[in-house]
Chains A and B, each alone.
Chain A
Amino acid sequence: MQNEQKSSIADKPVSIIYSWLGDRIFLTVVVALGLSIILLAGAMAWVLTDEAGMALDEFGIIGFLKGTTWDPGVQFRFGALPFIVGTLVTSVFALAIAFYPAVAVAIFIAEYAPRWLGSIIENLVHLIAAVPSVVIGIWGIFVFAPWMRETFYMPIFLWAADHQPALLPILGSPIGYGMTTATIILALMIIPFTTALTRDAIRQVPKEQREAAWALGATKWEVIRMAVIPYSRGGIMAGAILSFGRAIGETMAVAMLIGNKNNFPFSIMGPAATMPSVIVNEFREAVGNLHLSSLMAIGLVLFVISLIVNLIAAYVTRKLSITGGQSI
């Protein structure tokens, strides 16, 4: 009975869906979806370039990148330099602040913490990542910025006014809304991201690697320092660079806290602006064509910078990983 059934199934001609047609359909769908991502990125770049054309024609690409005036009221001149500088400075310092704590948390979760504690910390870190940036921004406006002003900016400013008046222009006005506040908030926001990527990189380290180090008589710290970190440094660096890319693109919380000053000079505590912040601020109500086109051009610059950052991350992962980019 059983044999009969088996043979009868085997004898049935195979439906085309299980021979060539199924493959074709699957291939078409996968290729279409895959290509759509490329098309999407291409379309974004094309629209941005197209819309930015007017501003780039008017000021020249170099002129736009070097321009320091942003005046939609009288001269109608637009330059991106203050925003580029603002973005890079806040992102670099945010990463500098966030990097070591994030790596430390990741090592603690992956290597030291008992499983239950590790998972609690991990969930809390994910929780920070899940808070919408506009909520962080509101908290910043009403709690963090005033606290920073009372605790740090005001005392520093008053001390400088008494002892080192030359420092005042560098420090800037101690309002609480400015570059330092935005940078710290930005650091807070990328910590979860860096932590998650670092922990993933550490988890990738093969057990044999550690066991070999243990076998050589290494202490726990030595295992981490000589076996785990070198092996995962490519992943850690790539994670840091990806976090940097996130910091560059972070919009709402920064726009709410950076004070939005569209012109040089920037100061340490005083207001500044970033590329995403000026776009989110002015795009909605930009009535003039040149103004709108200039905002699009800023978007294009941001797009290109993000692309470069991502490429660097990919390169670094390959170069720094201990296998030189080849999988074992």
Chain B
Amino acid sequence: MKTLKTMKAMKTISLFFISGLLALSFFGCGGGEGSRNGAEQRSGRSSDRVDILGAGASFPAPLVTAMADEYRGVTSNRVTVNYQSIGSGGGIRQFVEQTIMFGMTEAFLSDDVMQNVEASTGGRAFNMPITLADVVTTYNIPGFDKGLVFSSDVLVDIYMGNITRWNDSRITELNPGKDLPSLPITVVHRSDGSGTTNIWTSYFSRVSDEWRGRVGYGTSVNWPVGVGGNGNEGVAGAVINTPGAIGYNSLSYALLNDMSYGSVLNASGNIIEPSFEATTEAANIDLPEDTRILFTNTPAEYGYPIAGFAWMLVYENLENNNAINNRRQAEELVRFLIWSITDGQELSETLGYARLPMAAVERNIAMIEEVKWEGELIGKELLQDVL
């Protein structure tokens, strides 16, 4: 009899338990964000650990993730950087909505967004270059390895659909001694919005009025001709499998997949073979103070002309970013920033990224010096510790 009763009681309990669980799973999702922040705060207090939360562009994600791993070792597991690769658009939105401590983007913040941030936080939003993206012309012409030479106007006319065969006189002029076949050119471009497209089209817009007027530049544009591949791998797949195709990929991707890529005649009239050094060189120019610049078609004499920055986004007044709860978190974020533009750059080449040039590092340091916590210049203090 007793057992019967306990069984009944157990049944009652389990029923309540199940319905409670259901209710929890139901209403629990809404409170997720808040409770996680709470948990972070608690763990920050009880132990000595800090989580830095960032999100944004997918192109620099491998580098930032590697930096995060390395940095956790450097700080002996004290600081964990959590980076979510959700795309530049998402990075900017989350940064403005203050759900992350730093954002990452391949297109710098527009004047509108800069003004909004200034109005809402009373301070600027800093665009800090963290690494460089380079875009190379990849092609598939049977019998031709890397090293074809392109000029800006030839590339524009290929992507406009004005040059349609590989033995067009304007291509052969640039490549004397190479017997190019009369193969039709298949233009391949990225179909997904991407920073690579942003750099590629900004280069075209710089060098061609017609392109600027008709197509413009951005992470996705209205392409006059060609077939769109989804992602770096989509473009690479289409180029590798289509004789006569021309496309564009990041240099590291082209190297990794053993694709043929071309050299480009830059603004100073030098033929530049893509390399990490040439990309770094391209950004080693007189940068504006806020580094919001597209330096495609660089004036640097030996710079590779189709390259751009990826920026880290940080608020000037860190206490006004809702994702940062206390001064300790703010300080750790600044420390990570300083590390990533100095020691962190050592990771670049092995992962297929170009290092930041001195010009950009100097601008970054000037910006970090102005980062504040409740009016106090914590960036400057922390920089003095390191430098």
Contacts and interface: CB of A to CB of B under 8 A. Distances in A.
B192 A29 contact: no
Interface stretch (B33-41, B222-230, B291-299): B222-230
Contacts of A115: none
A260 B214 CA distance: 19
A281 B192 contact: yes
Given A261-B228, A285-B194, A286-B89, A73 B241 contact: no
Given A260-B191, A286-B193, A73 B230 contact: no
Interface string B217-235: 1111111001111100110
B219 A256 contact: no
A73 B87 contact: no
A151 to B, nearest CB: 14
B218 A17 contact: no
Contacts of B24: none
Given A17-B15, A284-B58, A261 B230 contact: no
A175 B233 CA distance: 17
B105 to A, nearest CB: 8
Given A282-B192, A284-B89, A9 B4 contact: yes
A274 B121 CA distance: 41
Given A69-B222, A72-B222, A284 B230 contact: no
A242 to B, nearest CB: 27
Interface string B1-34: 1001000100110011001001000100000000
Interface in A245-290: 255-256, 259-263, 270-271, 273, 277, 280-288
A50 interface: no
Interface stretch (A139-147, A222-230, A311-319): A139-147
A327 interface: no
Interface range for A: 35 or more
A8 interface: yes
B60 to A, nearest CB: 13
B292 to A, nearest CB: 14
Nearest to B57: A285
B382 interface: no
A12 to B, nearest CB: 8
Contacts of B194: 285
A282 B12 contact: no
A178 B229 CA distance: 11
Contacts of A72: 218-222
Main secondary structure of the interface of B (DSSP, over half): mixed
Contacts of B192: 255, 280-282, 284-285
A90 B342 CA distance: 52
A70 B222 contact: yes
A136 to B, nearest CB: 13
A117 interface: no
B88 interface: yes
Contacts of A270: 227
- Most B Cβ at <10 Å: residue of A22, A178, A280, A286: A286
B222 A73 contact: yes
A141 B222 contact: no
Contacts of B217: 73
A17 B12 contact: yes
B344 interface: no
Nearest to B217: A73
Nearest to A17: B12
B287 interface: no
B269 interface: no
A5 B107 CA distance: 80
A244 interface: no
B216 interface: yes
Nearest to B197: A285
A285 B26 contact: no
A119 interface: no
Contacts of A141: 229, 233-234, 237-238, 241
B16 to A, nearest CB: 8
Interface range for B: 35 or more
Interface string A1-45: 000010011000001010000100100110011001000000000
A282 B237 CA distance: 19
Interface string B328-361: 0000000000000000000000000000000000
Given A17-B15, A71-B222, A73-B216, A284 B90 contact: yes
Contacts of B92: 287
Given A73-B221, A286-B219, A292 B186 contact: no
B383 interface: no
A142 B238 CA distance: 8
B65 interface: no
- Most A Cβ at <10 Å: residue of B4, B191, B242: B191
A259 to B, nearest CB: 4
A318 to B, nearest CB: 33
A73 B238 contact: no
Contacts of B106: 285
Contacts of A32: 22, 26
B241 A261 contact: no
A17 B10 CA distance: 11
A17 B230 contact: no
B201 interface: yes
B222 A22 contact: no
A70 B224 CA distance: 12
Nearest to A71: B222
A287 B107 contact: yes
B12 A285 contact: no
Given A72-B222, A141-B234, A175 B242 contact: yes
21 contacts: A25-B15, A29-B19, A32-B26, A70-B222, A71-B221, A73-B201, A73-B221, A74-B221, A137-B230, A173-B227, A175-B227, A175-B242, A259-B191, A259-B228, A270-B227, A271-B227, A273-B191, A282-B192, A282-B219, A285-B88, A292-B89
Given A146-B241, A256-B234, 20 more contacts: A25-B15, A25-B16, A28-B19, A36-B26, A71-B221, A72-B221, A72-B222, A73-B218, A73-B220, A74-B216, A141-B229, A141-B241, A261-B227, A277-B191, A281-B228, A283-B193, A284-B89, A284-B192, A285-B194, A287-B219
Interface of B: 1, 4, 8, 11-12, 15-16, 19, 22, 26, 58, 86-90, 92, 106-107, 110, 186, 191-195, 201, 212-223, 226-230, 233-234, 237-238, 241-242, 245
Question: Closest 6 CB pairs between A and B?
Answer: A260-B228, A285-B193, A284-B87, A260-B191, A73-B216, A73-B221
